[in-house]
């Protein structure tokens, strides 16, 4: 993967079924992929399984699947690509939110009803229609966040580093499709919904969908373990995160009944009002 795109410049454009990726940030899965990605500006990626659907090259659009025109949501993605490739007209507007109806249908198909929302007091979280590159996570994957959260994370990480503390991102934005995929695979392997919900947030209800939350770690610590609370990184966060607009979402005994997650932080200070 070429990681020559600077944080806070590259954008992930989002539609309900397809993402538009800056090609240099995608991993090549074969030599053919590598040659193609080296020439492409933007790649259309199916969210459900990560399949590359088409690449925007200087010479035009190259389909990467046999029947691109039949692909669900392709019209919306191609319209967005056209806007993206057109002349720049100033800075992009703040992210809007994608509709939730497709998610609701898939949750119903999975057999996950409103009882979950009632039980946990959690609400469905819409995906933003674009995200900003906030840097890279521990695994060298692009870290995507809403723009204000991305800038705040970069500033907070730099402030911690100046104090001799290393903050590492473990995971930022995750799509509904990503979470639905986890559930579909586990159900197919014979696990019950109740079993899966003990370990995974229900698709659509994770703060990671909204692009304001990230899991934070520090070198030498396993990801997403309660032992993180004994690290200097956590002590630093307790003291300084609020000044950067970040708060822990799931402290001990939180009202949602979610296990204590000292690694999960959400940016909120400059939140734009959300439609209800």
Interface residues with Zn ion (CB under 5 A) are: 215, 264
* Residue 130 bridge partners (DSSP): 13
**Min dist. Cβ of residue 38 to Zn ion (A):** 34
Cβ 176 to Zn ion, closest distance in Å? 15
Give the nearest distance from C-beta 229 to Zn ion in angstroms. Answer: 15
Give the residue with the Cβ less far from Zn ion, 71 or 207.
Answer: 207
Between 215 and 221, CB nearer to Zn ion: 215
How far does the chain reach from its first CA to its final CA, in angstroms?
39
CA–CA gap between residue 190 and residue 111 (Å, rounded): 14
Contact call for residues 5 and 22 (beta carbons, < 8 A): yes
Q: Quick one: 71 or 168, whose CB is closer to Zn ion?
A: 168
The residue whose two tokens read 């191609």 is 78
Q: Shortest distance, CB of residue 208 to Zn ion, whole angstroms?
A: 6
Tokens in use for 81?
Answer: 């690509």
Q: State the minimum distance, in angstroms, from the CB of residue 54 to Zn ion.
A: 32
Sheet holding 246-248, edge to edge: 168-171, 213-217, 264-267, 246-248
Q: Which is nearer to Zn ion, 57 or 136 (CB)?
A: 136
Tokens, residue 231? 């690290």
Closest approach, Cβ 260 to Zn ion, in A, equals 12
Distance from the Cα of residue 182 to its chain's centroid = 15
With respect to Zn ion, which residue has the nearer C-beta, 61 or 197?
A: 197
Q: Which is nearer to Zn ion, 11 or 264 (CB)?
A: 264
Name the closest residue to Zn ion (Cβ): 264
Kindly tell me which of 84 and 249 has the beta carbon lying closer to Zn ion: 249
Q: How far is the CB of 183 from Zn ion (least distance, A)?
A: 16
Beta bridge partner(s), residue 128: 97
Tokens describing residue 156 = 């907070």
Nearest-angstrom CA–CA distance, 142 and 131:
11
The rounded distance, in Å, linking the Cα atoms of 7 and 3 is 10
Closest by CA to 210, choosing from 105, 96, 91, is 96
Whether residue 133 contacts residue 143, with contact meaning beta carbons closer than 8 Å, is answered with yes
């Amino acid at each position: 993967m070429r990681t020559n795109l600077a944080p806070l410049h590259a954008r992930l454009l989002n539609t309900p079924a397809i993402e538009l990726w800056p090609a240099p940030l995608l991993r090549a899965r074969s030599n053919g992929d590598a040659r193609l990605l080296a020439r492409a500006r933007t790649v259309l990626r199916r969210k459900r399984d990560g399949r590359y659907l088409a690449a925007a090259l200087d010479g035009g659009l190259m389909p990467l699947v046999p029947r691109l025109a039949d692909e669900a949501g392709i019209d919306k993605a191609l319209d967005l690509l056209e806007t993206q490739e057109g002349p720049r007209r100033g800075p992009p507007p703040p992210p809007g939110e994608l509709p939730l109806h497709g998610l609701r249908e898939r949750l119903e198909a999975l057999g996950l009803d409103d009882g979950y929302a009632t039980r946990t007091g959690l609400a469905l979280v819409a995906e933003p229609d674009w995200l900003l590159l906030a840097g890279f996570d521990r695994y060298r994957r692009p870290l995507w966040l809403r723009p204000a959260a991305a800038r705040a994370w970069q500033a907070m990480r730099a402030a911690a580093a100046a104090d001799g503390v290393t903050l590492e991102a473990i995971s930022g934005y995750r799509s509904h499709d990503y979470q639905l995929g986890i559930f579909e695979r586990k159900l197919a392997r014979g696990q019950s919904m109740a079993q899966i919900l003990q370990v995974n947030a229900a698709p659509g209800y994770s703060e990671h969908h909204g692009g304001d939350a990230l899991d934070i770690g520090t070198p030498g610590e396993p990801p997403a373990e309660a032992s993180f609370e004994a690290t200097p990184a956590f002590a630093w966060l307790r003291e300084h995160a609020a000044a950067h607009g970040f708060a822990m979402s799931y402290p001990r005994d939180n009202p949602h009944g979610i296990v204590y997650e000292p690694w999960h932080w959400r940016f909120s200070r400059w939140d734009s009002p959300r439609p209800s």
